[in-house]
Chains A and B, each alone.
Chain A
Amino acid sequence: MTGDLFAQSLVLGILLGGLYALLAAGLTLYFGVMRVVMIAHSAFLILAAYLAWYFHETSGLDPLLSLVITVPLFFVVGYGMQRFLVSRLRPISLTTMSVLLTFAVALTIEGLLGFVWSGTQRRVQLDYSSASIELGGVSIAVVKLIAFALAAISLGALYLILRKTSFGRALRATTQHPEAARLVGIDTDRVAGLGFGLGLATAAIGGTALALDYTIYPSLHWHWIGPLMAIIVVGGLGSIPGAAIAALLLGVAASLLQVPLGTTWAQTVFYLALFVTLMIRPQGFFGGRLAQRF
């Protein structure tokens, strides 16, 4: 591998890793606050991508503007999903049943997408779709930069919300010790709902970023759910910094392996990392003291 190619792959890996980090943070949020494994996260991601594409098709405006609609919409849907579906599950079997329930939601979304917009592959065509920036022998597609910037801004915002606001404190308290949080007067049900909404809002942003750069089709979410699930297990279920680190590392690894191995085999690095993690450190490599029990 030449130096240029290496640098190129490295940069692409970091850019993709950023997007993975944002989406994995959402997944981690659900798990941290409610012990819910949200299989439907990537289905909502594809839904957001379709909405961005449809918005662009019908209005002709930039798909990024669809965020104004999809982010609040997904937030409300997430809140509703937690309050009306997930909270109905019995606490003792919550974790496993939540997988099945959200899986059911994922299937429904995939089916409806195919039903409404057919299985045809869709792609957003923009003026800057093929534009790229040269930087020291490395060429970076503008759309990838935009996606990374969106991910970085959202992750930063997420960090600020969790650290600086009273809602963030309540959310973290609920994550650490739900009963104690209730004792000090936190409405944990409401916090859980809002946390779920926040997580789903990240899927809206990720999906819009995805629509800029990828050809989309209804069953695409399967390609995302595997790597994302691997990332949150490697990072340690429930740990947002762990998810971010694992996302960047694995994103870069997959991108570097893509040159000698090809796209398909490079994907297996996520699963390999998943199995190695379980063999060596089932609770995950970064943080994540909760993981093993769930």
Chain B
Amino acid sequence: MPNASSATPAVRPTTARVTRIAALLALVAVVLLFPSLAPDPFILSVGVVILSYAVLATSWNLVGGFTGYISLGHAAYSGLGGYATALLILRTGLDPWLALVAGGLIVALIAIPVGIASLRVRGASFVIVSIALVLILQLSFQSWATFTGGSGGLRVPRPFGPEVLRPEQHERFFYLHAALLALALLTWWAIERSRLGAGLKAIREDEDKAQALGVPTFAYKLTALVVSAFFTALGGGLYALWFGYLDPIFQFSILVGTYMVLMSLLGGVRSLFGPLLGAVVVGYAVEVFKSQYGDTQFHLVATGILLGLVVLFMPDGVIPALTSLVNRRRHAASIREVSAEDLAKQREEATP
């Protein structure tokens, strides 16, 4: 809401920009310094896991955040990425890093027919298809044991030689994950500023109107899904190289897809760093729950309750909630993104 009593418009954007750049630099510094600050290899490995979650959540947000199409089955792409990378190394003797990229490209190709089928429907049907995709992959990878190793799992060869010790390996993978995360964030940032991004956001707010205005909705949605699948697959592949072991039950798990949604929603799907923030919170919580109550099913209850609370009370995420709080305090006159939802609410409030 415009407010005349705010500070002069020339000053505030610059201070905001300076704060933003400072925050970004601080974030980069924390990530770069983390391996040398981590007291032991276990903490470092938790750091790798959280960065891996952050990659997946940011990749998920490339389609979920922009288009509003909620996919609960993105584990399909991360799992396929892991298996593609491992199988390429094992069956063709490809260099691990080439296998990783090739795996990502293969998964992006697979995402095209999947997208053509599933993006024809909206909302609920799309979510159902995404769930079905994970379930069908889990079934196939369990059954097709001669190719995938089946329920027995698949050992992924280590990309580094035996001279690289465990802590050092964690450290290398930490930076590799950080680099991939930076790439995914950069892609999100670039799309947000592009025509594609504007079109995708129009789809999120009102797909019919976007179509009527000439946005090639289907092509845009498909592009977003394929790019998202590509990054998700890279995330899954990199994780597989680090972890060294794949199992269909854990790779093609709805729970992994849920974590991606939960992280993105919690942090905020409309902001660049939302999924990253969500990954730090949820990823840390998940690791703690697993190490504390590993044998019980308590982590499921915790995830379930957290997801329920976020959906009910914070569907826009923490960042927008905090930003609006700060803005209200400052009486700021910033141009914020107004969604169709907000407008509808305003209209509702305006009419008695």
Residues of A in contact with B (beta carbons under 8 Å apart): 31, 35, 37, 39, 85, 88-90, 92-93, 95-101, 103-115, 119, 218, 222, 225-226, 229-230, 233, 237, 262, 264-265, 267-268, 270-271, 274-275, 278-279, 282, 291-294
Contact = CB atoms under 8 A, between A and B. Distances in A.
Interface string B306-318: 1110011001000
A263 to B, nearest CB: 10
Nearest to A40: B304
B42 interface: no
Contacts of A103: 72, 258, 307
Contacts of B131: 39, 225-226, 229
Contact of A112 (B118, B142, B255, B301): B301
Interface in B107-158: 116-118, 120-125, 127-129, 131-133, 135-136, 139-140, 142-143
B307 A278 contact: no
Given A282-B120, A282-B121, 19 more contacts: A92-B344, A95-B124, A96-B70, A96-B124, A96-B127, A100-B307, A103-B72, A106-B304, A107-B303, A108-B305, A109-B304, A110-B297, A111-B304, A114-B297, A222-B135, A271-B133, A278-B121, A278-B125, A294-B122
Contacts of A31: 124
A89 B309 CA distance: 11
9 contacts: A88-B312, A90-B341, A107-B307, A111-B299, A115-B297, A268-B136, A274-B132, A278-B117, A292-B125
Nearest to B299: A111
A103 B254 CA distance: 10
Contacts of A268: 136, 139-140
A95 B72 CA distance: 14
Nearest to B124: A37
A101 B124 contact: no
Contacts of A225: 131
A89 B300 contact: no
Contacts of A101: 307-308, 311-312
Interface residues of B, number: 49
B250 interface: no
Nearest to B208: A293
Contacts of B311: 89, 97, 100-101, 104
A282 B123 CA distance: 13
A100 B139 contact: no
A218 B341 contact: no
A271 B305 contact: no
B340 interface: yes
Contact of A107 (B117, B124, B125, B301): B301
Contact of A282 (B125, B132, B135, B315): B125
A111 B301 contact: yes
Contacts of A274: 128-129, 132
Contacts of A265: 139, 143
Nearest to B136: A271
Nearest to B305: A108
B97 interface: no
Contact of B68 (A88, A96, A233, A262): A96
Nearest to A43: B304
A112 to B, nearest CB: 6
B308 A229 contact: no
Contacts of A35: 124
Most buried by A among B254, B255, B265: B254
A42 to B, nearest CB: 11
A95 B70 CA distance: 11
A97 B315 contact: yes
A294 B297 contact: no
Contacts of B118: 278
